[in-house]
Structure 1
Amino acid sequence: MENSSENLSYPPIFRPSDVHHRGVETHGLMGPEASGPNHDIPAIDLENLIDQENLEEACRNWGIFRAINHGIPETLFGQLLEHAKKVFLLDFETKRDLFKSPVTYFWGSPALTQEGETINEGNIDWVEGFNFPLSQLFHLPIEQDPNIRTFRVLLEEYGMHQSRLAKTIFQAMAKNLNLSPMQVNDYLSLKTGFIRVYRYPQYYSDSSKIWGMNPHTDSSVLSIIGHDDVGGLQIKKDHSWLDVKSKCESLVVNVGDMMQAMSNDKYKSVRHGVRVNNKKERISIGYFVFPAEECVIKSDIYRPFTYSDFHKQVQEDLLTKGFKVGLQNFLLTKAP
């Protein structure tokens, strides 16, 4: 690490001395998959969504795309990144004690792995972060630090932009899928939106040994991710892992599990993970949005379920199986 203050800002398990003394590197951590050169993902111009074919192709064949001309001021995102870094630089104990539910601080979150890709006991994601429900930002402890006060203002403005983008993108998808007006209204609830800010610490040893975030699919309808210029995103496509080019002026949009179910599997929830970097830390800011709380998702492929049903099943699977099974739990069974 570059300095002692930054070292103290990391959770103890991520600090150089603790890693070597506690044997984190010998816990059987599974590193990122080998991949080829950086690839680019489809780019969708959000100012020209009349061209629906490109969006349709991206959702069907990739489950991910790059949003350009999104209308978020570059200065806003730059300020948000800078204040995120300042808040992350608070001592670990301060962050742990200040940020309580519903605004929470987390680190080393468990991987949401698929069957056959479970991680060995002791494996962790090399990441720390904050979870900010947009409807609960008033809970931020702004009286504790002026940086947190400014951070809240920036999050509020950024969240309004994200809500606008999510609505625009979802309505275009819904049009392609011929969803009814009632489905459009219930399947995406902006009240559920939250922002998650991630910091992936520099991994000063062999960064091929671990994931910053283990491979998973998002449980959301849509996820919209902004990031700095440090790469690391990998996606799985056609049974191969690809490195995604880092273009910090654009946003990355993931199709989530809920969108896959709504589309009768026409759109694919992209499987993705994040590699750590052995020279720099990485900051990303994700927006996640879900169906209305009591909304029942109806599909020709899956039995009817709410997001609450899905979330409870995911938590149960993580506790009992150690990995996320996801939509397979809700597949319709054939009559005997």
Structure 2
Amino acid sequence: MKLGEACKTWGLFRLVNHEIPSTFLSQLLEEAKKLFSMEFETKQGAFNDSPLTYFWGTPALTPSGEALTRGTQNMNWVEGLNVPVNKLSRFQCQQHPVLESFRLVLVEYGNHLSRIATTLFEAMASNLNLHPENSKSYLSLPTGAIRVYRYPQCSNANVNTILGMDVHTDSSILSILNQDQAISGLELLKDDEWLTVAPISNTLIVNIGDMMQAMSDDEYKSVKHRVKVNKHKERISIGYFVFPDDDTVIESTKYKPFTYNDFRAQVQEDIKTCGHKIGLERFKLT
């Protein structure tokens, strides 16, 4: 099956026939551009009284949007917004029309992504012969978060050494990306070579996260990826991440049993002490 082959060989694939209108995907990116074009102080003020978290230069976030301590890492060339999907309908931003307009679009987008994530995970669980009861508890839609990223143009003379996002794997089960339809930047590591994931209109990029790799006994690969910046143009991308419940135990023949809460706590500790995420290696059976 093509899905299983892509998950095992690449850890990333392009999704078509996702039933999200192309006009809507374009609208989503345009609304994001309007939001990021606001003054810095206005953006900060708009998010103070909302469950949305505004950040810049910080790639590592908890599902709730709390920035992790960066240790010795360099700041990344990015600003962004973390949006817990299940809280979108609980607040309104009438005093900030641009934010309110974007919130309404995100509510609809979150519904689409929840549907897609569920369909994909059910297919993957079936391919892997995961126990039905276990697999039902693994994917928790209330944990879904949308992260909206803006990578500003970078005129620095050393632009080739500056990253919009450091090399990393996602801690999620699945990550679904609506990347800029005109400007490339996402790269994945395959056989020790960095490959560009070219933008193609009306497609979504899906990549496997750490939790899915553990559930699959390392059959599916949590792919290393990074984001390069552009010297002349800014770039917008919108990612959706979904996780297990905090206390759901992940069982695997390759790893000792752990919960997502255990994994997240270990990542936070490693970033504080080592300056970077170590991830699944911390839970490998010896």
Return the TM-score normalized by structure 2: 0.92
Matches within 5 A, 1:108-257: 108-110=57-59, 121=72, 123-138=74-89, 142-206=93-157, 207-228=159-180, 229-257=182-210
Q: Residues 72 and 275 of structure 2 are in contact (CA less than 8 Å); yes or no, is this contact kept in structure 1?
A: no
Partner of residue 105, structure 1: 54
Instruction: List aligned pairs for 1:1-336, cutoff 5 A.
Output: 53-100=1-48, 102-110=51-59, 121=72, 123-138=74-89, 142-206=93-157, 207-228=159-180, 229-333=182-286
Q: Is the 8 A contact 2:83 2:145 kept in 1?
A: yes
Taking structure 1 as reference, are residues 287 and 111 closer, same or farther at Cα in structure 2, changes over 3 Å only? closer
1:111 Cα shift? 6.4
Query: Where does the alignment leave 5 or more consecutive residues of structure 1 unmatched?
Result: 1-52, 113-118
**How far apart are 1:124 and its partner, in Å?**
1.0
* Per-residue Cα deviation, 1:244-276 (whole angstroms, up to 9, x for no partner): 211132000010000000000000000000000
Please list every run of at least 4 consecutive aligned residues from structure 1 whose deviation after the TM superposition is greater than 6 angstroms: none
C-alpha separation between the residues in 2 aligned to 1:303 and 1:167? 26
Letter matched to residue 261 of structure 1: A
User: Separation in 1 of the partners of 2:224 and 2:135?
Assistant: 25
Distance 2:134 2:15 in 1: 24
Runs of 5+ unmatched residues, structure 2: 62-69
Cα separation, partners in 2 of 1:144 and 1:271, compared to 1, 3 Å: same
- Measure, in 2, the Cα distance between the counterparts of 1:299 and 1:306: 12
Structure 2 counterpart of 1:305, which letter?
F
Deviation for aligned residue 1:314: 0.2
8 Å contact from structure 2 (residues 71, 271) kept in 1:
no
Change (3 A) 1:122 1:134: closer
CA 1:55–1:176 in structure 2 vs 1: closer, same or farther (change >3 Å)? same
Alpha-carbon displacement from aligned partner over 1:137-194 (angstroms, at most 9, x marks no partner): 1465512221211111110000000000000110110011001111221111111101
- Partner of 1:143, secondary structure, is coil
Q: 2 CA distance for matches of 1:122 and 1:238?
A: 25
What is the identity percentage for the equivalent residue pairs of Structure 1 and Structure 2?
56
Distance in 2 between the 1:181 and 1:209 partners?
46
Aligned residue identity for 2:178: G
Within 2, Cα distance between the matches of 1:86 and 1:79? 11
Q: How many residues align?
A: 275
Summarize deviations over 1:272-320 as a string: whole Å, max 9, x none: 0000001110000000000123210000010111111100100000000
CA shift at 1:102, angstroms? 3.0
CA–CA separation in structure 1 for the residues paired with 2:3 and 2:125: 11
* Residues in 2 aligned to 1:198 and 1:110: alpha-carbon distance in whole angstroms: 10
